[in-house]
Structure 1
Amino acid sequence: MSKIETNKEQKRNSLLDSAFTLFIENGFNKTSIADIVKKAGVAKGTFYLYFKDKYDIRNHLISHKANQVFQTAYTELRKHKEIEDFEEQVLFIIDNILDQFAQNHNLVLLISKHLSWGFFKDFLSVAPSKDTPAIFTIYETMLAHASHTYRTPDLMMYMILELVSGTSYNTILYEQPVPLDQIKKPLYEVIRGIFSQYRE
């Protein structure tokens, strides 16, 4: 990566980091573009080189943070060569992501409310960098090496994504109806049931 490209990426990341902090501290509606650029230490015109408006930076921010969380989980998975089964790989990634969320409630507040399937396919199909494949690309690669084939694998993952998102939100933030460590076992049993229903 050239010095110019590195500088551009640093400015973009600075804007994203500033937006994340301000959205969490002040709320999305009370945060202005002027607030974001001031905290990032860049000119207002720089903002518009990367984002159309405040909604656009929010969407890119969710994608950016979701990518970071997923890539961290996937990196950990790759250290465990013994986990070869596709379904167990997915469960490992989910478990790691839930643990990351438990350590950072702000991520839950940002991502869980907005990470729909349409968003997942649109934004997370884009590679975060030249050296890092998109989340959806990684999923398709894992799926291609699975020992089973699955009918409508997109629908299968939609069901799992919605289940995990809906189940984890309250249990991580409020320990309701039970703490996270108590929800994991029944949650993973349900996910295994979804896998079995979609196997061909």
Structure 2
Amino acid sequence: MGNEKILENKRAKRTKLYDAAYDLFTSNGVHNTVIDDIVKSAGVAKGTFYLYCKDKYDLMDKIILKKSAAVLGSAMEAVEKERTEHLLGFQQCVAFFVDYLLDYFKDDTKLLELIYKNLTYELYEKMMNYEELDSARNAFISNFIDTGVNNQTARYRLYIIVSMVGAVCYNSLVLKVPYQIDAVKPELYRAIKQIIT
């Protein structure tokens, strides 16, 4: 029983740390946030910070991975439900998936901005290998392979779609240039359709 309480306490501290950092990163920016601000806001000791993270950029990566996995996981659950209820094909599933993300990020532009501004290739690779995203990644790649491309080409196509959707969302929803998302959405879907066929 004592070990469970210790683990629960550690999880609670880590959650406080992640939540405080997320709030500070999205309101002040990553570069304008210092570790002292994070631990003060979280109500934890500085040593607790270093127990979970090397530095604030490591913490930012962990937050992006965790939040991205949650968003993509919920999107994949919605896609799977829609696919089974309405017998959607792969192209329809991809369109539904992208639509889900667009709707989500319309309501949470702060998360979109944090992800887009800080998504490096290394972080993208970590995200694509994140255990919680295995089913989503494998579904996309296997469907790409079914169209006659090899595994590497399937990975390239997934990367292009993720990058394109991220850029369009960031520009349209955060910067609000050069077009509103609803105006450009049909062209975004047309471009994605060309990539996946």
TM-score band, normalised by shorter chain: 0.7 to 0.9
> Any residues of structure 2 matched to 1:1-200 within 5 Å, and which?
2-80=4-82, 81=84, 82-127=86-131, 134-144=132-142, 147-151=146-150, 152-196=153-197
User: Displacement, 1:75?
Assistant: 2.2
Specify every segment of 5 or more residues in structure 1 that has no aligned partner in the other structure, as ranges.
128-133
2-structure distance, mates of 1:2, 1:93: 38
2-structure distance, mates of 1:189, 1:27: 34
Q: Indicate the SS of the match to 2:118.
A: coil
CA RMSD, Structure 1 to Structure 2 (Å): 2.2
Contact preservation (8 Å) 1:51, 1:57: yes
CA-to-aligned-CA distance 1:75-102 (integer Å, 9 cap, x gap) = 2223211244233222222211111111
Contact preservation (8 Å) 2:140, 2:158: no
1-structure distance, mates of 2:88, 2:9: 39
1-structure distance, mates of 2:32, 2:23: 12
**Structure-2-length-normalised TM-score:** 0.85
Identity of aligned residues (%): 34
Change in 2 beyond 3 A, CA 1:62/1:5? same
Change in 2 beyond 3 A, CA 1:40/1:21? same
Specify every segment of 5 or more residues in structure 2 that has no aligned partner in the other structure, as ranges.
none
What number of residue pairs does the alignment pair up? 190
User: Displacement, 1:117?
Assistant: 4.3
User: Displacement, 1:47?
Assistant: 0.9
Task: Specify which structure has the higher proportion of helix.
Answer: 2
Q: Which amino acid aligns with 2:166?
A: S
Q: Indicate the SS of the match to 1:113.
A: helix
